Structure 1
Amino acid sequence: MRKLILLIRLTLILLLATELIASKPLHHTELPTLLQVHPPESQSVLNNPYMGLAPSADHGPYEQPIRLVYGVVTWAELEPSKNHYNFEAMEKRLHFDEWQSRGVQVILRLVLDYSSSDQHKDIPDWLYNEIQGDGIWYDEDIGKGFSPNYSNPTLIENHRLLLKKLGERYDHDPRIAFLALGSIGHWGEWHTFQDDHLVIPFPKLAVSDLYVHHYLDAFPDKKLLMRRPHPVVSQYGMGLYNDMFGVARSTYDFKDWYEKGYTSSLAGTDIPPMPDFWKYGPSGGEFGNADTVLEQLKSDHMEAVLQQTRDTHVSWMGATTIAEQKFPAEEQANLDEFLKTMGYRFTIPDATYPEKIRQGGLLSLHMTIANHGVAPFYDPWPFELSLVDASGRVATQLNTQQDIRSWLPGEHSLQEFLPVPQNLPAGTYSLCVALLDPETKQPGIDFAMEGRRTDGRYELGKLEILQ
């Protein structure tokens, strides 16, 4: 296989030289000299968008680097009286604007039943009255609360209206990263208490899918994640979250669910496998036992956490107390390995381009993109090529047609062409690459390699522009 890859690369280099000669030769007897560069790879932790630790949005700032925070909101908080929405107060409690100023986005989860030590309900009083108390009050080992009857038509319709308002406000809001679909079950984890003496009904698939479609209709431009791998996940390219990450048995049960399929006693049906869900929607969740993970940071058992990260293609993880702390060197090194393992991690092992090209020519660039992470990037951010002059000014640039969502873990061979303007002054230029944030139009993702400029672009090497 390696010999075949080398043969393909040599063929591409020869084709590249042929194209250059055909398009605009330097001289009728002169072959272009091709440069092959190998940007050094960096081993640093990359604090990149849509990945990493995601501690609570209502605390902080945090000691560890973050680009995500996790915000849980109840229906009672959002809509205390019918058709009156408490968005501003919720945003203030979860520090939306402060996080935005720090380049951090919120993962939002709406819950209807958040079990706690106090007897309470998490749907508003007006809704409780409209459904005539249809549900079950409980006081069990999991906590106390009220579980509404999720099949109640009035509840379903009001949920649709609430999601419609949420979508109108937040679907295009860059402060929001993802929506975790938490509307059903205790803590929004898509399970209800089931015991010999008490069975709290869980909705059948046809009903729970109605709640999912409320999110799909309200948030067509946001990535959505579910706790359970119901068929709707693969049908609409959604992600999954595992709220028991770090607990090996629970995590590998979760992995078996989506890789092999299973019979859901809660939903009352067979759930088909969806082993490739992570290629289209992110995998995340929360540590099932943060204290255990803190202990693992101090030992060689951290490898088990890293393996769970690789096996379930984790991009982000709610980390409770971990992000709050500074750690001794050995523990920090273990945490850094975790941060470097999850999500995407792009680098360019090699690139080939001409050493010199004339004004008005077509610069041909072949490169290998490597993703050393465990997941792709899930949004179609532009991949930019540019020439930067000696003063640091971008002299010309091109947003390529590359779909970076296809850069799955592994290596990818790319061929791109950058037009050189006829009026570009002769001289030495830096050939640069960047991944642009569509909101700012500026470089927004760090590569795992050396050569980062102050503007966020990465220099592959130099070349000469000739008259």
Structure 2
Amino acid sequence: MRTNWLITFALTLLLTSLPALTEGAGKNMITYEPAPIEDVLLNPYMGLAPDSRNESYDQEPTLVYANISWRMLEPEKGDYQFEQVEKELLLDKWADKGAKFILRIIMDSPEEKTHLNIPDWLYRELNGDGEWYENSYGKGFSPNYSNPLLISYHQKLIEKLGEHYKNDSRLAFVELGSIGHWGEWHTNTSIPFPKLAITDQYVQPYLDHFPDSILMMRRPHPIAKKYRLGLFNDVFGNKEQTAEYKSWFDKGYVSWLTKERMPAMPDFWKVAPSGGEFSPSKPLKRYFSASSIDDMIAQAQSTHLSWIGPNTPAAFPAKGAQQKYLNRFLNTLGYRFVANKETHEQEVVAGSRLDVHMELANNGVAPFYFPWVLELSLADADGNIVAKTATNEDIRKWLPGKTVSTPTLEIPADLPAGEYTLCIAILDPQTEEPGIQWAMKGKREDLRYSLGKVIVHTP
């Protein structure tokens, strides 16, 4: 009986104490819930990627597309015209506007007139090994991609390309073109398309000479799966062909060109981007109408699209008839970060640390693919940043949907007592300054975002 009485007394004491403990802990916590916004965010590495050769577009891009033919780059054997090519592609002008470029090398681009996209010297050394064609795509010359001399010279070309661009801060992504009409890894000629043993020899130089760049292929290949490359869909907007593209990476497929089995890559978009361009099967304006926009958004969601170009609606007039549909589309692409709720201690002591709990959401369809830094900071009453910490949060893991982050801000020991504002930002490592907009209110001029208040006491 005495034992039962002691147990009952202990339980009663514990239960009557719990509300007081909970209340006491809650008194020093503050929760802030930023209001979301629906604005189109001009953020890096996502959105529209129009042709770089135009100086401006009504829709402001953060990416541009740079197609470079071998003929442009090496008109004479061993003479690489990078300066002239970049001038023609306006790469510096776009960089001044904050836009990075997507690179693709082309050997064969069908056009209205007969022409060569490889240099004359290379054509002569190959003894014309290839096929002059005229088909539904247009006219041009398709080299024989199985020619060992072509493979050797291509390896040298990509080596030089890597030396020039692999550490270029203007470069966003590298598409593995090189092979096929428009560098799209298919041909419509009588020469058999090469099997994997050959095409892998066109991929390997990119892997060797762009070791830290994000590479993308037109469709899944074993080598793309092995090295976790991105993919691109150059018939986006065509419902049937985009469904086929999705089936390729979801389930794998048998190549209609070589009859070889290609692997599924269902999760490729989690580590490397999905890109592409609009199908030329109909005018761009028809993709952005009341009857089409829901399908465009559904295609972007199902393929986790981050960017689209060069056939893209960047030339649509600002605030024109298609703008509201284009805005909905742009708000779907890529990543779109918001802090739904942020909680921290309301009062801390200088020299200690502030533990922050954030319920975040990525309301886009893809993650951010670069190891940029999540920063916490404190702003004083005048808005000056007086303390900041670069956290070890890996923002590349913020997949679409909700996530939780628990970073810590170090409070300087000499910070004067007073009330401060907690701020959050994502830093561009090239500038060490905030570089990404969030889909919420509270944006400061320096691209940091204000969260809750913090009272700092001196020890």
- Alignment TM-score > 0.5, same fold: yes
Does residue 61 (structure 1) correspond to residue 56 (structure 2)? The answer is: yes
Structure-1 residue corresponding to 2:196: 205
Structure-1 residue corresponding to 2:10: none
Alignment of 1:332-343 (within 5 A): 332-343=323-334
Task: Report deviation, 1:267.
Answer: 3.2
Structure-1 residue corresponding to 2:405: 414
Counterpart-to-counterpart distance in 2, 1:330 and 1:141: 33
The answer as to whether partners of 1:57 and 1:94 remain within 8 angstroms in 2 is yes
Task: Report deviation, 1:155.
Answer: 0.7
Among all aligned residue pairs of Structure 1 and Structure 2, give the percentage whose two residues are the same amino acid.
Answer: 48
| Gapped regions of structure 2 (runs ≥ 5) | 1-17
CA distance 1:30–1:123, change in 2 (3 Å): closer
Does residue 71 (structure 1) correspond to residue 66 (structure 2)? The answer is: yes
Task: Report deviation, 1:424.
Answer: 0.8
Structure-2 residue corresponding to 1:265: 256
Does residue 178 (structure 1) correspond to residue 173 (structure 2)? The answer is: yes
Letter of the structure 1 residue corresponding to residue 88 of structure 2 = R
Structure-2 residue corresponding to 1:87: 82
Structure-2 residue corresponding to 1:118: 113
Structure-1 residue corresponding to 2:218: 227
Structure-2 residue corresponding to 1:45: 40
Counterpart-to-counterpart distance in 1, 2:321 and 2:33: 31
CA distance 1:324–1:31, change in 2 (3 Å): closer
CA distance 1:30–1:295, change in 2 (3 Å): closer
The answer as to whether partners of 2:64 and 2:310 remain within 8 angstroms in 1 is no
- Classify the secondary structure of the residue corresponding to 1:341: coil
Task: Report deviation, 1:327.
Answer: 5.4
Worse overlay, 258-267 or 46-55: 258-267
Structure-2 residue corresponding to 1:23: none
The answer as to whether partners of 1:284 and 1:315 remain within 8 angstroms in 2 is yes
Structure-2 residue corresponding to 1:109: 104
Worse overlay, 85-94 or 282-291: 282-291
Task: Report deviation, 1:71.
Answer: 1.1
Q: Which of residues 415, 431, 448 is equivalent to 2:439?
A: 448
Does residue 281 (structure 1) correspond to residue 276 (structure 2)? The answer is: no
CA distance 1:249–1:354, change in 2 (3 Å): same
Task: Report deviation, 1:283.
Answer: 0.5
The answer as to whether partners of 2:45 and 2:62 remain within 8 angstroms in 1 is yes
CA distance 1:452–1:306, change in 2 (3 Å): same
Alignment of 1:67-466 (within 5 A): 67-193=62-188, 198-289=189-280, 291-318=282-309, 320=311, 322-326=313-317, 331-466=322-457
Counterpart-to-counterpart distance in 1, 2:248 and 2:173: 22
Counterpart-to-counterpart distance in 1, 2:435 and 2:240: 37
1:163-193 Cα distance to aligned partner (Å, 9 max, x none)? 1111111011011111111100001111000
- Classify the secondary structure of the residue corresponding to 1:49: coil
Counterpart-to-counterpart distance in 1, 2:160 and 2:312: 33
CA distance 1:44–1:290, change in 2 (3 Å): farther
Structure-2 residue corresponding to 1:22: none
The answer as to whether partners of 1:51 and 1:343 remain within 8 angstroms in 2 is yes
Task: Report deviation, 1:140.
Answer: 1.4
Number of equivalent positions: 438
Q: Which has the larger radius of gyration?
A: 2
1:15-48 Cα distance to aligned partner (Å, 9 max, x none)? xx99xxxxxxxxxx99761001101111100000
Q: Which runs of 4+ in 1 moved over 3 A?
A: 29-32, 290-293, 327-330
1:174-229 Cα distance to aligned partner (Å, 9 max, x none)? 11111111100001111000xxxx52321111111111111111111211111121
- Classify the secondary structure of the residue corresponding to 2:407: strand
CA distance 1:296–1:120, change in 2 (3 Å): closer
Task: Report deviation, 1:319.
Answer: 5.2
Counterpart-to-counterpart distance in 2, 1:452 and 1:327: 24
CA distance 1:363–1:214, change in 2 (3 Å): same
Counterpart-to-counterpart distance in 1, 2:25 and 2:207: 59
1:405-434 Cα distance to aligned partner (Å, 9 max, x none)? 110001111112212111011111110111
Counterpart-to-counterpart distance in 2, 1:276 and 1:153: 34
Task: Report deviation, 1:291.
Answer: 4.2
Letter of the structure 2 residue corresponding to residue 50 of structure 1 = Y
The answer as to whether partners of 1:247 and 1:289 remain within 8 angstroms in 2 is no
Counterpart-to-counterpart distance in 1, 2:36 and 2:341: 11
Structure-1 residue corresponding to 2:28: 33
Letter of the structure 1 residue corresponding to residue 157 of structure 2 = L
Counterpart-to-counterpart distance in 1, 2:64 and 2:201: 27
Instruction: Return the TM-score normalized by structure 1.
Output: 0.91
| Gapped regions of structure 1 (runs ≥ 5) | 1-13, 19-28
1:244-291 Cα distance to aligned partner (Å, 9 max, x none)? 000001101000011011110213310111100111110011100374
Letter of the structure 2 residue corresponding to residue 216 of structure 1 = L
1:129-160 Cα distance to aligned partner (Å, 9 max, x none)? 22221111111121111111111111111111
The answer as to whether partners of 1:160 and 1:214 remain within 8 angstroms in 2 is yes
- Classify the secondary structure of the residue corresponding to 1:333: helix
The answer as to whether partners of 1:32 and 1:356 remain within 8 angstroms in 2 is no
Structure-2 residue corresponding to 1:25: none
